[in-house]
Amino acid sequence: MIHCIQQIKSVFTMFPAPAPIVASTARRFALRSLPSLAVARQSLTQSSSFIAPIPSPSNPPITSSYSSIAMRLYSSTPTPQSPIPDGNSILSSYQQQSTSPLIGNNIPLAMETLARANAVCFDVDSTVITEEGIDVLAETLGKGPEVSAWTSKAMDGNIKFEDALAARLDIIRPSRKDIEKCLEMHPLRLSHGVDTLVKALQKRGTEVFLVSGGFRLMIEPVAEVLGVKRDHIYANTILFDDSGNYAGFDATEPTSADQGKPKALGMIKEKYGFDKMVMVGDGATDAQACPPADAFIGFGGVIVREAVKEKACWFVEDFETMIDIVNKYGGD
């Protein structure tokens, strides 16, 4: 494979051609030679409907030395991106296309911040995935209605988050095996388009974080599917004893208490030096995170919460326009 690519390059050395033609020819050759790679590449660009089970020896991640060679060839000619206009100009272009009014308190700010963002933080439950993870866990343990009522109170901002978290965990008291069994029986579903949005952000160099009041053990498989690094997860840690039984939760995690997400985003900003950060989420705790986020985009694709809708700089019910903005502009 590598020998053939070198032969192509030697031909173009003897008979010079414009650089884009060289890259395009090599890229087409690589993809024709690797039908399995074409399938792998297609899977990266299509929306997933389900989170795969936690990887195991019987279900290992797919890797290929050939794919890395061809992907380097593919990325040798990056897609040109437009200069970033101001937020009002971005908004105007979408108002002309939209058949319904766009909603938000400061849509130009949100759109321009997204276009320029060097970090985007996503809530997980009812945003990245279509369910509330703790409710799914409670349902598998026969405690669904009791826990769901507490979740609604927390997401609507009617109770301190730490009180709701403690109450729900006291009801279900999940063991390590309970959580593993839950994920096997009920793989978590990605919200439509979120994988495309995350990949678009990562392609242009924007860092993606998952900031959640949910549980790290349940979020890590989601992060793996999306290609989000584990140290980019800010979530709650359930504690277990030596036998794997429930032993409480780590109260030092920033997301374990009310105002935890502002604290987490502040930590991220300070650690990495980001100057343009967006928070995306469905709940009152997500709205609290702006500031330190420079803009808050409320998401109502799973459930519309009126309190969140009122506080959002921009409120969306799908990710399509966000994906378009990210693809169109290269960020700062």
Per the annotation, the verdict on 282 as an active-site residue is no
pLDDT tens, residue by residue, 226-271:
999 999 999 999 999 999 999 988 888 888 877 889 999 999 999 9
Question: What is the reported pLDDT for 73?
Answer: 33
Mean pLDDT of 121-134: 91
276 pLDDT higher than 90: yes
Q: 123, 195, 258, 294: which one is catalytic?
A: 123
- 3-class SS letters over the chain: CHHHHHHHHHHHHHCCCCHHHHHHHHHHHHHHHCHHHHHHHHHHHCCCCCCCCCCECCECCCCCHHHHHHHHHHCCCCCCCECCCCHHHHHHHHHHHCCCCCECCCHHHHHHHHHHCCEEEECHHHHHECCCHHHHHHHHCCCHHHHHHHHHHHHCCCCCHHHHHHHHHHHHCCCHHHHHHHHHHCCCCECCCHHHHHHHHHHCCCEEEEEEEEEHHHHHHHHHHHCCCHHHEEEECEEECCCCCEEEECCCCHHHCCCHHHHHHHHHHHHHCCCCEEEEECCHHHHCCCCCCCEEEEECCCCCCHHHHHHCCEEECCCHHHHHHHHHECCC
Summarised one tens digit per residue, pLDDT across range 197-215 is 999 999 999 999 999 988 8
Catalytic residue among 86, 125, 163, 241: 125
163 labelled catalytic: no
Residue 233 has a pLDDT of 96
Provide the pLDDT confidence category of residue 157 given band limits of 50, 70 and 90: low
Confidence (pLDDT) at 112 = 94
